[in-house]
Amino acid sequence: MPKVVRTSPFVKFTGKKSMKVEEKILLKGNIAIAKAAVEAGCNCYFGYPITPQSEIGEYLSKAMIEANRVFIPVESELAAINMVIGAGSTGTKAMTSSSSCGIALMQEAISAMSCQQIPGVIISVMRGGPGLGNIAPSQGDYNQACYGGGNGDYKVIVLSPSTIQESIDLTYLSFHLAFKYRCPVILLADGILGQMMEPCSIGEYPYKNYDYDIEKWALDGAKNREPRNLVSLHMNLGELEKLNYELNNKFLKIKKNETRFEKYLTEDANVIITAFGTVARVAKTAVKQAREMGIKVGLFRPITLSPFPSDELYNSLNPSTKVVLDVEMNLGQMLKDIRSSVFGKCDVKFMGKPGGGVINNDEILEKIIELNKNLES
């Protein structure tokens, strides 16, 4: 059985000695994320439409108003992310969503959010690139999300769902981690996941009783307390150096406590496939097909792309593992994290398609068969 680190329950305890399965409904991925954001208590949404994530804003344009919350269709992605900063600085749950080239415009502000330690959720539904690219599904923004385009030694949490249900669960987790660690969190999906439909359960937000100590840092009016501010400019000697160490130590704590991943049939695998998001689903099908042919192959799927589950991947390599095959819908953006995690313990190969090209299970299976033949020869 695969080892899956779940982020919220699919079943709910009723108070009796039995578990009640949540009712499932058929939802498109973007709508599921939007519904989960409302359930998570998102009080402010600021967004600019861009394919393939526009349904998020479309749904929230009605749902947020009905819930007596704030929905603002903005003039640009720059405006959206800066409004998230403003709302987040008051301790308000705020979110924006965009895709690829839209997220690129937000990079300076994401760096500022990290420095100011302001919580906020950013939904990124990837499309083909670079530039304006196309509206086909892609995974070309791994580097953008995990390593960023802003300045300085900042890091953000990046979560990657592979199902609609997991999109809901990780939306819940995004809001929780953003406020638990006071940082921006990116939910990184692709166009397939945003547009496809699956049965899923919204359930209840599992972190509603968590105390985030918002009153200790939020800019909520300096009544009966000393004034405070949240800034990204630190001119005093040594002040910024100290802050960088604090931010790095916080990220190390996140890596220790919040890393999530899935392992599937890796215990005896000669070949282990690494993949994230939609591609991981396709790869799992290829793994099952290869197993039916007697080929010992497994799958390792990072759920937290940042921090990357490097130790967990290394420990998933068993004595008979000879090669890791990294499969992505890009030209190998996760490959450096795979290689540094494997640390020379076995060979690492890659297959991928950029610019909106979608890999199918037959292509992955063909590559598995090829690698297995090379191992046997």
Q: What is the pLDDT of residues 141-160, one digit of tens each?
A: 999 999 999 999 999 999 99
Query: Which tokens in the block code for residue 209?
Result: 């009783």
Residue 7 has pLDDT above 90, yes or no: no
User: In this structure, are residues 262 and 300 in contact, taking their beta carbons and an 8 Å threshold?
Assistant: yes
For 22-40, the pLDDT digits (tens) are 689 999 999 999 999 999 9
377 falls in which pLDDT band (50, 70, 90)? Answer: confident
Residue 18 has pLDDT above 90, yes or no: no
| Number of neighbours of residue 270 by Cβ within 10 angstroms | 19
Residues 130, 137, 178, 183, Cα dihedral to 10°: -10
User: In this structure, are residues 128 and 87 in contact, taking their beta carbons and an 8 Å threshold?
Assistant: no
For 199-253, the pLDDT digits (tens) are 999 999 999 999 999 999 999 998 888 999 999 999 999 999 999 999 999 999 9
Pairing status of strand 25-28 against strand 197-200: antiparallel
Q: Is 334 exposed, middle or buried (0-12, 13-18, 19+ CB in 10 A)?
A: buried
Please give the domain boundaries of the chain with CATH numbers for all domains. Answer: 20-258 (3.40.50.970), 262-376 (3.40.50.920)
User: In this structure, are residues 97 and 88 in contact, taking their beta carbons and an 8 Å threshold?
Assistant: no
User: In this structure, are residues 286 and 275 in contact, taking their beta carbons and an 8 Å threshold?
Assistant: no
Tell how far CA 275 is from the center of its chain. Answer: 13
Residue 74 has pLDDT above 50, yes or no: yes
In 3D space, the residue among 98, 48, 51 whose CA is nearest the CA of residue 72 turns out to be 48
Residue type for position 276:
F
Residue 319 has pLDDT above 80, yes or no: yes
In 3D space, the residue among 323, 333, 325, 324 whose CA is nearest the CA of residue 351 turns out to be 325
Q: Which residues pair with 188 in a beta bridge?
A: 124
